[in-house]
Structure 1
Amino acid sequence: MEQVILKDLFQQRDDRSTSLFKYAIKQLSRCRFSCTEERCELIALYKEEKYRVIVTNEVSLQEIRERIFLFSINDEPSVKYFIEAMMLFIIENSENTLMSALKKYKNKNYMPGKKYNDKYYYKFYSKTPLKSSLRDSYNAKWIDYEKQLENGNIIFDELGVAGLFAMSGDTLFKAFNEVVKECYGGSLFILRLLDDQEYFCDGKEIIGERFEVIKKYDLENPKINEIGDFVKEMIKENTRKHELLLAEKDNKINELNHALSELREENTALFKIAYRIRSQRNIIIGLVLLVLLMFYIIPTILQLFL
């Protein structure tokens, strides 16, 4: 596998260098890299050939940001998310080297499936090879998922480079159109995250090596019962999300009630302390008056009569 340096790609303007740079940035934004103290490595594709791209601290965060805008890839959801995270990192950290930023970014955003609240996602796919200019621009390769499912209910990235993409339920409702069908196909998976598999999510898409297939639908030639099942799944998904929202509200209410209870207990404790202080103050005042009475007032009165 040929090795290239990301910084070297900055100075070159040929098609290979530009394509590899764009691919590398997308891989960084999706946590598809390994990182050490000195360097970061990732795999990028160009014309179906794999390249190992090396990233070092010779490249600054500002240089990365400038070239992202220069190469017009800032509209990519994961890249947009990446830029915002990097700028926030610069603001919050005095040591803003690229390696430290990338390690923190991956630690925060690359998590096992068990840590995600949403466990179910959706993926359009095609049972036959697809060809479109949009797929070519993304270097998207057709995968025979039906063949993979002959050996179980897991689909996976055969190349092990970019990972598999899936969308949330909210994004799914906006994706029923001919453009999506042409690019991804007219069949649909309902997928579940695997607890021990790591994923990256930018809010719109989730990316990982492997997913469990719960159900699949042929939306190009659907049967009436399949449509009914699909609608039921969507209703179930919306109901589940509403239940999660209600549960979160209940948890917040319980947290507030607990906080109020703790405040009441603290106020009661403070009141008792204040009462004790006041009682002790009265005792001290009484003792002072007694001392004054015994050693000053009474002797003074006795002197008047003697």
Structure 2
Amino acid sequence: MMTWLAHHRHALIATLARMGKTPFATLFAIIAIGVALSLPAGLFVLLHNVTRLAGNLPARPEISVFMHQDAHDTDIAAMRQRLQARPDLAGFRFVPRAQALAALSEQAGMSDLTAGLNNNPLPDAWIITPAQADAQNMARIAADIRGWPQVAQVQDDSQWAQRLTALLGLGRDLVLMLAILLGAALVAVSGNTIRLQILTRREEIEVSRLIGATDRYIRRPFLYFGVVQGLFGGLTAWLIVAVSVLLLDLQASKLAALYASRFHLLGLGLTEALVLLATAAALGWLGAYLAVSRSLRLIEPR
């Protein structure tokens, strides 16, 4: 066990020393990896904040129910009892026709029009707020209420929720596709860096094989190089996203204040940051493993 740990410690120290001998090449590779990873990470943060903003909107999807003109107080009382008995409603309120006409009269340019009316053409209405604002639940509630007595028309506001859900789903798919593409690019960058190192150390690898070194022993320092390079690239991506969120939050807070809101942008949390670092390290290891495995098959001791 101690020998195994000593081998790994030696490989890690040799990797860090090799990085120190080529600081500029190592720095440029880390920056390239960090920029590539910061794009999907930044889009993930943007999508997360848009989802939070949509959830904090004061307006919630509602269902408007309009009664027949000949509906009486008994019909309204029966309607109230039916609504109170439904556990899938977060709340409801009754809007009498007189109140609706008064609100219409207060709107600009409508006072003269309503003053000339002999009768109130507006029906009594109910404004219903479902407990769950997803489109399927709202459509089900609206379909049930349409069959109730003295109900003339039912309108639901689920269209904007459907559009928002579709846009957020599209955003998640785009983030996933971009993450896959840039992850493949990270593997290629890491593999190309490792391949160049193998070419410069070809004679050393041949001598190691002649004295009995196994492929696992030869591969180990290169794998550490890929992991460390990917880990530093992930840390660079986290810094890029954190600084970007900090700068953008200043303007976002000012914009939210104009709408009497205290909305702030949130960056990557601890879990998301750890996932980013682990993914970067794993992709770096994968690129190094593929490059070393292919190169070792092509190198034979002379």
Q: Give the TM-score normalised by structure 1.
A: 0.25
Q: Which has more strand, going by share of residues?
A: 1
Q: Give the TM-score normalised by structure 2.
A: 0.25
